[in-house]
């Protein structure tokens, strides 16, 4: 495992002002066992790894949020960006664009979010999921940016396979040209709930204006999509973060609360902007 657990054990002890003996007792092991872990004389089992991080979280220690803030503060003066990748499984070896699925927001690519919590939310429902923190230097790369507007909605729909037959439409071709040759894309995150709203737009149930305001109401922040191997090489892994079951439950609860608020906002937006904007058949006629 590569979670730098020994460093985290020292942090937990310092933040809680407890001794090694007290920490050992709290997680149900002997002080000798804890000592062997810290000297790397004995490997820490997955079960005990869970106990360590579960204990810290139960005591109010938000190790991953602390790491997020420290890394972000460190990057400000060096014009770097800290990004987060929630992984259902551990990443083995080098990052490869080819391993990505086609039907993503912007097709094949390596996806990272600007927020630790949002990235963790996407994978907290999976056993064995974890979080990676990367430092990104974009100074030598070509990028393009999308905002929460009609262009973004149509691009997401296209790459997710909902605009079959419109590949040669001038509007779609122009959107594809915006991405072609770029190393990365910066754009709002679209989760499955947001894609359902885009689906309603593509199916002709709501206008582009209604869709845009509905999506704005469910904003999840921005994501970076790395489209080339050159871009991926500009990612420097800073930390692989463990997500305990207790921490995952916290993120899932937050997600449910945000979903409820978002759904209510969507209902209001649908009503408030009814009749405004254009339907998909008028845009792509």
Look at 161 and 193; give whichever has higher pLDDT: 161
pLDDT at 269: 80
Average pLDDT over residues 180-190: 94
Look at 164 and 235; give whichever has higher pLDDT: 235
pLDDT at 1: 53
Under the banding of pLDDT at 50, 70 and 90, the label for residue 24 is very high
Measured CA to CA in angstroms, residue 238 lies from 89, 155, 168, 243 at distances of 18, 31, 42, 16
Q: Could you report how far apart the first and last alpha carbons of the chain are, in Å?
A: 54
With 0.85 as the threshold, say if the pTM is over it: yes
Contact predicate 124/251, CB 8 Å: yes
Per-domain boundaries in the chain: 1-61, 80-283
Mark 148-187 as b/e (b = at least 16 C-beta within 10 Å). bebebbbbbbbbbebbeebeebeebeebeeebeebbbbbb
pLDDT for residue 274 is more than 60: yes
* Mean of per-residue pLDDT scores for the chain: 91
Under the banding of pLDDT at 50, 70 and 90, the label for residue 18 is very high
- Residue with the two structure tokens 């996407």: 122
SS3 for 110? Answer: strand
Give per-residue pLDDT as tens, 154-183. Answer: 999 999 999 988 989 999 999 999 999 999
pLDDT for residue 123 is more than 60: yes
Under the banding of pLDDT at 50, 70 and 90, the label for residue 196 is confident
Look at 190 and 44; give whichever has higher pLDDT: 44
pLDDT for residue 219 is more than 70: no
Two tokens at 120? 């963790």
What's the CATH number of domain 1-61, 2.60.120, 1.10.260, 3.40.50, 1.10.730? Answer: 1.10.260
Distance between CA atoms of residues 73 and 70, nearest Å: 5
Distance between CA atoms of residues 263 and 280, nearest Å: 23
Q: Is 20 left (phi over 0), alpha (psi -120 to 50) or beta?
A: alpha
Angle 46-58/245-272 helices, nearest 10 degrees? 60
């Amino acid at each position: 495992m590569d979670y730098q657990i020994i460093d985290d054990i020292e942090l937990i002890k310092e933040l809680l002002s407890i001794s090694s003996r007290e920490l050992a007792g709290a997680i149900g092991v002997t002080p000798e066992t804890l000592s062997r872990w810290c000297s790397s004389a004995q490997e820490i089992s997955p079960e005990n790894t869970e106990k360590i991080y579960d204990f810290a979280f139960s005591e109010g220690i938000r190790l991953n949020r602390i790491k997020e803030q420290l890394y972000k503060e460190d990057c400000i003066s060096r014009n770097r960006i800290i990004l987060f990748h929630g992984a259902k499984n551990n990443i083995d070896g080098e990052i490869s664009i080819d391993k990505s699925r086609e039907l993503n927001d912007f097709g094949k690519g390596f996806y990272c979010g600007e927020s630790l919590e949002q990235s963790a939310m996407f994978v907290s429902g999976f056993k064995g999921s974890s979080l990676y923190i990367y430092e990104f230097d974009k100074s030598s790369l070509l990028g393009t940016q999308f905002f929460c507007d009609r262009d973004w909605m149509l691009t997401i729909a296209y790459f997710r396979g909902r605009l079959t037959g419109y590949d040669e439409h001038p509007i779609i071709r122009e959107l594809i040209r915006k991405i072609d040759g770029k190393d990365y894309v910066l754009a709002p995150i679209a989760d499955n709930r947001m894609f359902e709203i885009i689906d309603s737009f593509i199916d002709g149930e709501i206008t582009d204006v209604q869709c845009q305001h509905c999506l704005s109401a469910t904003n999840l922040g921005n994501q970076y999509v790395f489209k080339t191997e050159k871009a991926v090489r500009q990612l420097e892994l800073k930390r692989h973060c463990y997500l305990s079951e207790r921490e995952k439950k916290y993120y899932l609860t937050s997600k449910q609360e945000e979903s409820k608020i978002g759904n209510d906002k969507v209902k209001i937006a649908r009503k408030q902007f009814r009749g405004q904007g254009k339907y998909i058949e008028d845009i792509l006629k």
